[in-house]
Structure 1
Amino acid sequence: MPDRDVPLGLEEIRLYDTRTRSVRPLEPLEPGKVGIYTCGPTVYAPQTLGNMRSQLVPDLLRRVLIAAGYDVTFVTNITDVGHLVDDSDDGDDKMEKAAAATGESAADIAARYTEQWADDRRRLGCLEPDIRPKAADHIAEQIAMVETLEAKGHTYVIDDGVYFDTASFPAYADFAGLRLDDLEATGRVDSIEAKRHPADFALWKLTPPGVKRQQEWDSPWGRGFPGWHIECSAMATKYLGERFDIHTGGIDHVRVHHTNEVAQSECALDVHPWVGHWVHTEFLDLGGEKISKSKGHVLTVDTLVDEGIDPLAFRYFSLQGHYRQNQAFSIDAVRAAGTALRRLRLIAHQARAAGGAADPDRWEGARRAFWSALADDLNAPAAVAALWEATRDPDLTPADLWALLEEADTVLAVDLGAAPDADQTGSDARIDALVAERAAARAAKDFATSDRIRDELAAEGIEVVDTPTGATWRRR
């Protein structure tokens, strides 16, 4: 653990690890420091809300680790070359295909959608990455790793390119629990007949004779471009070292992309395990089907904005489901989450406006419940439930509640300090102040002042409504 005080309940962080299929304590390679690599977007199109959920989970994890006192280095990549439309190493590169369809350059497409993705992350409350490397800027590192694999006997060359020989890595199937004899189950049936095994994957693809690509580079094997998987191994190693603590991504990456990352990295670097914890996010579910661009689902952050929904309502919606469970998605569900978020912001606003001094002894129990839930494999639904339970605790003063909510928002990042909507409290700062003054008088048992303020407001046509979570007001 880091050498400083951390919130009670956050002394030990436990995470599910895909590789070992177990929830284990986080044990960083270097005490007090954590390196995280997150698979970022392939920037040929806008990112769906499903893609963005796999950004929200590592952002929550990063914030929890910071709260626990760790020095976190967070790396997320940009795939702007090498990602084919088929995981079996067949078909067109997604960037080249988008360029051909639009008449734009692949570089312009990548720049536009990279910025849109970055803006979507900001709108969803994500911290900026410490490092955001692009695959096209790290061709030399990728070629060097392929050369290392070749020198160690893990590759072979066919007309199509350089391939990793999975037979040279006996543990290949272990990471995802694959049965390589059941090819359909692994999604590896393909049409590249010269491959020695369907699971073998491309490290470097050669440009076919007579074809001119927008994105291609010279290499020891000929002009071409890197395979999708090698970029993450090369960039993660460059920025986090030959071994690092946490690798995150969507659950759909386990069988192919991350299995291949493990194989090529452990063989090139002679390490095991390459990564301490693998954290994978489950799908958003549309009636039994994941949200996916390939399925024609183009629900994006802009979709929410067009529907009049605060993007942070989607972040709050995501917190209502555990990251290792599919989460049923609908616009109505996100809208309902937005309503709950506005209510929580109103409670926070009223608690802060009431003033006073918080007593750590009074709110320590609620604080422990909140942080303990997050320390237990990022159980965000339980953490949010702990906050709502605290809002109903009669032993907490408004100042205690605001102290709790303000601290909780450092990791939830749903802007609990925002001013409430006008339709909840009106938009009159003077009335807000009087209601807050009345709340403070009631807390001090100064009922004469409390009644006087209520009567003054009533004379103006303002009705004060006392609730278990505080007072609100409305015009008659």
Structure 2
Amino acid sequence: MHAWPASEVPALPGKGRDLQIHDTATQGTITLAPGPVARIYVCGITPYDATHIGHAATYNAFDLVQRVWLDTKRQVIYVQNVTDVDDPLLERALRDNQDWTELAERETALFREDMTALRMLPPQHYIGAVEAIPGIVPLVERLRDAGAAYELDGDTYFSVEADPHFGGVSNLDAEAMRLLSAERGGDPERPGKKNPLDPMLWMAARPGEPSWDGGSLGRGRPGWHIECVAIALDHLGMGFDIQGGGSDLAFPHHEMGASHAQALTGEFPMAKAYVHAGMVALHGEKMSKSKGNLVFVSALRRAGVDPAAIRLALLSHHYRADWEWTDEVLAEAVARLERWRAAVSRPDGIPADALVEEVREALANDLDAPAALAAVDRWVELQNATDGDDESAPGLVSRTVDALLGVAL
């Protein structure tokens, strides 16, 4: 599966700072100082109802991570999946009387278009669940053969007891995990499971549903969590720098994925930091595919909204915060974009070297994009109030905003 084209990232003078970021597992801020190559895995979409603003906010956060690392002169290996076969996708296709593969392909293509318009840097490895199946099956067989998985009526489940670190990503108690498992695709009430929290690794073929050769597992399809584990281990290995996604993925998805990987390899941890973006609401409720209260990037673009303004609207909120999309949020972003573009359109201006360092410092501090925007706002105000004579300043501001914030002025 191919990703989307990369926009050029301008080079800035000097060098960026190492990233300090909030880690869900330790519930504190840690400093990430990778070697010459930084490694990040971000969980991708299930391709229907793409791309809504909640999606965009999440991928914007991890785009900032890439930009901070690139500014430190590191190479970045970024991996993202597409869950192009899963119960919710099949249910949507059935509801709308569509072929599930056509639905997945169309929505994935739309997601690529939106990511391109928003200037999100693409992953080097963009992998669909279906194409990952040949690598998933041997991992499930290994877990079963090691006693970390078991069969139940033809399905194969992972035993959470196989990982002594289980629970260490989300830090939830058993009852909270059980409730979330039921809400988020698990089946804690199924009779015969060794532990209600045990997640499915391989689902035996069901009538009328797609299935693939699972070797000794029989025909079927993979569970949700093992999909990302197989892709991450294949392209990043253990101990990569960041496992990222929305806050609703901390449990069960990232918790279970970490346990799968740790049971497979005997190594800990799967990722050095588990980083989660907040949820976006509309009319007082979290944007949700099930509720249908979604604002789509593609619809905003068709209505003539500049993608740079959409991105500024996302950047005006801290990535870990839950916030609400409103017309006022978008209007403020449109006005900010106009002010910034007018300020950098002048032939000269006030010096901007200090601004570069302010933006770097803000982003290195747990991706504090609102502080970075405020720093640019201050430069713009001074630019409008002062007759500067630095001919290089407007260009430097434009390159800084582009390189570090992904906004083209």
TM-score, length of structure 2 as denominator length:
0.89
Cα distance change on mapping 1:104 and 1:336 into 2, 3 Å? same
Aligned counterparts of 2:338 and 2:274: Cα–Cα separation in 1: 34
Relative distance call for 1:169 and 1:184 in structure 2 (3 A) is closer
Would the alpha carbon gap of residues 219 and 336 (structure 1) be closer, same or farther in structure 2, given more than 3 Å must change? Answer: same
Instruction: Encode CA deviations 1:367-416: one digit per residue, 9 max, x unaligned.
Output: 22121111111111111111111223348545324323322321212211
Residue 111 (structure 1) aligned with residue 105 (structure 2): yes
Describe the shift of the 1:242–1:170 C-alpha distance in structure 2 as closer, same or farther (beyond 3 A): closer
Q: Secondary structure at the match of 1:170?
A: coil
**From 369, 380, 390, the counterpart of 1:391:** 380
Q: Verify: 1:268 aligned to 2:264, yes or no.
A: yes
Superposition pairs of residues 328-407 of structure 1, within 5 angstroms: 328-350=324-346, 354-355=347-348, 362-393=351-382, 394=386, 397=389, 399=391, 400-407=393-400
Question: Structure 1's 388 and 50: CA in aligned 2 closer, same or farther, altered over 3 A?
Answer: same
In the alignment, structure 1 segments of 5+ residues that lack a partner are 84-92, 417-476
- 1:18 corresponds to which of 24, 28, 43: 24
1:415 matched residue in structure 2: 408
**Displacement of 1:129:** 1.9
Contact 2:50–2:110 at 8 Å: present in 1 too? yes
Give 1:180 deviation, angstroms: 0.7
The alignment status of 1:170 with 2:164, answered yes or no, reads yes
Match of 2:231 in 1: 235
Structure 1 residues 165 and 119, CA, compared in 2 at 3 Å: closer, same or farther?
A: same
Give the superposed CA RMSD.
2.2
The aligned counterpart of 2:126 is 132
Partner of 2:6: none
What's the offset of the Cα at 1:154? 0.8
Alpha carbons 1:6, 1:69 under 8 Å: kept? no
Task: Give the residue type in structure 1 aligned to 2:66.
Answer: R
Taking every aligned residue pair, what percent have the same amino acid on both sides? 29
For residue 264 of structure 1, report the CA deviation from its aligned partner. 0.4
- AA in 1 matched with 2:257: E
Alignment-mate amino acid for residue 23 of structure 1: T
Range moving further from structure 2, 229-238 or 59-68: 59-68
Q: Structure 2: 5+ residue runs without aligned partners?
A: 1-10
Computing the radius of gyration from Cα coordinates, the structure with the larger value is 1
Equivalent residue of 2:275, what SS? strand
1:149 aligned to which of 132, 138, 143: 143
1:345-374 CA distance string (max 9 Å, x none): 111112xxx159x9xxx4332222121111
| TM-score (normalizing by structure 1) | 0.77
**Counterpart position of 1:192:** 190
The whole-number CA distance in structure 2 between the counterparts of 1:257 and 1:204 is: 15
Q: Distance in 2 between matches of 1:300 and 1:397?
A: 43
Q: Write the distance in 1 (CA, Å) between the matches of 2:180 and 2:172.
A: 7
1:212 is matched with which residue: 201, 208, 212? 208
Give how far 1:176 is off.
0.6
Deviates most, 183-192 or 44-53: 183-192
- Larger RCO (CA under 8 A, 6+ residues apart): 2
